[in-house]
Amino acid sequence: MEENLDDQQVRKYLAGELKGDELTSFMELLRTNETLKSEVQGLQDLELGLESLGMDAFRDRLNQWENQVESKGRNVFNIRSLLSVAAVIVLLVAAGIFLFLPRSTDPDILFTQYYSPYEDMLTSRASEIDEVLQEGMFAYNSADYATAVKHFNNHLSTDSPRAASWLYRGISYLELDDIDRAIESFENILDHPLLGQQAQWYQALALLKANRLEEGKSLLLEIGNLDDHYRLHDAISIYQALK
């Protein structure tokens, strides 16, 4: 019974469905139960491998096997481990390569793995934004981040809506390796109704880059409790890697 309960929690955790106290309790269990932690990490690595090779159909079939095993009341953890090994063998044969997916716990490496500049969501609506912000986005899209910051700073001194400037200013500072100013930028819009989620994600990454790990993990856990957050699964994965 205990194993089946844990299995259900593992499934929900990997699917990003654990929330609130249930997620917090499961995180604590992962911290104290090395066997469970090792198995979850192995399943996450398998998931990454399947995704990287585009083997969605095989992953779906693996899930079907697991559901059948669970419905028969067998030891799901042991069966899943065997299926995971079998899946890796199939991947090796199908891809013809050795798949090795180390799980780093180094904040700088995690930052590099998960960070990329946020796409330009503004210039397609150029008629709706003012000229100063347009100039900032042009520099941003050209990877001229120092110039972009100047334009965003100028825009922030106006009476126009400024949330976008805070976001792209923060990302520009990340690109310039000015982490403190990046964090300060994101802090201004963490609760913004349209860009708050993006600010939260980049703020969490910036905190990792600044080696402010406890603050970063706290924010990642907050993101993990938001059902509709656009980086929900990534936030949970990084949080787990840092445990």
Instruction: Give pLDDT tens digits for 126-180.
Output: 667 889 999 999 999 999 999 999 999 999 999 888 999 999 999 999 999 999 9
- 121 close to 230: Cβ distance less than 8 angstroms: no
R_g of the chain computed on alpha carbons: 21
Measure CA of the first residue to CA of the last residue in the chain; give whole Å: 27
Lowest mean pLDDT among 57-66, 124-133, 204-213: 57-66
- 206 close to 186: Cβ distance less than 8 angstroms: yes
Token representation of residue 179: 């982490």
Average pLDDT over residues 69-73: 52
Domain with CATH 1.25.40.10 in the chain: 107-242
Superfamily of 107-242 according to CATH: Tetratricopeptide repeat domain (1.25.40.10)
Q: Give the model's confidence band at 14: pLDDT under 50 very low, under 70 low, under 90 confident, else very high.
A: confident
Total count of residues recorded for the chain? 243
In terms of Cβ atoms closer than 10 Å to its own Cβ (0-12, 13-18, 19+), residue 10 is buried
Q: Give the model's confidence band at 104: pLDDT under 50 very low, under 70 low, under 90 confident, else very high.
A: low
What is the residue-averaged pLDDT of the chain? 79
- 58 close to 90: Cβ distance less than 8 angstroms: yes
More confident residue, 135 or 70: 135
Average pLDDT over residues 67-77: 50
